[in-house]
Amino acid sequence: MSAYCYRQRFPLRYTDFDFKDELSLSSLLAIIQESATGSADELGFGYEDLKPHNFGFLVVNTYGEIFRQPSFGETLTVETWPLPPRHVFFERDYRVLGGDGTPVAAAASRWCLVDLASFSLLTGEALGEADRNCPYNPEKSITVPNWKVPRMEQPAEVYRMTARQSLCDHYLHVNNTRYADLFLDCLPMQALEGRTLKTFHISYARQAKEGSELSLFAEDRGEKLLAEVRMGEETLTQAELTFAPKQV
């Protein structure tokens, strides 16, 4: 019996690309998230399965590497599978393949299952039969060097914003894919135009809701951008993005 792997195809649209004609990080995160939800639905612990119990999966970390930039109109295939849970952490890996089957990206994510009423963390046992019957696959698509994002040495406040409803999802907080745009907006076009994104690591500690007053702090090291979303003195989300010179 072959190991479980969920596959979903995603035709790329012009709106999935940024001003450099590269697939935007938020679009890449969106198709990864979409494949994760499709797999969870198939395995019996998707959004509609958990909603009656007032449970939800919240992402804690996402790490990934980009091997090449896809083209306009290319159809990507995302392969994903859940790894065996580690107490309260549910891990999931991904492979992103191009239209010709060559690797475009690979990623890994960690999630927590949460009781949305008390925000207590739950183990796989709370999923009942879906957990007992789940074909967890221990294969790794990528090696994560460290699940912790390094702190900035000289953080500078770049801009402030208010979280509006358009950023929020059905959990009534800012969707995790939207933070990618907030982090990259810490850099102007001129700073980004000569760089191409190679790795990304986003760590989510707290949730921002509609009306949250957010401050974006960043430290640009050229080949690396460290950034944080803060609400007052509290750090909500951190990112470490690494770049390579853009090939002309």
| C-alpha pair distances (Å), 96 with each of 20, 35, 134, 175 | 20, 10, 23, 21
pLDDT score recorded for residue 121 = 96
pLDDT per residue rounded down to tens, the chain (248 residues) = 579 999 999 999 999 999 999 999 999 999 999 999 999 999 999 999 999 999 999 999 999 999 999 999 999 999 999 999 999 999 999 999 999 999 999 999 999 999 999 989 999 999 999 999 999 999 999 999 999 999 999 999 999 999 999 999 998 999 999 999 999 999 999 999 999 999 999 999 999 999 999 999 999 998 999 999 999 999 999 999 999 998 76
pLDDT score recorded for residue 233 = 93
Place of tokens 């190991």: 3
User: What domains can be seen in the chain, in order of their start residue?
Assistant: 1-142 (3.10.129.10), 148-248 (3.10.129.10)
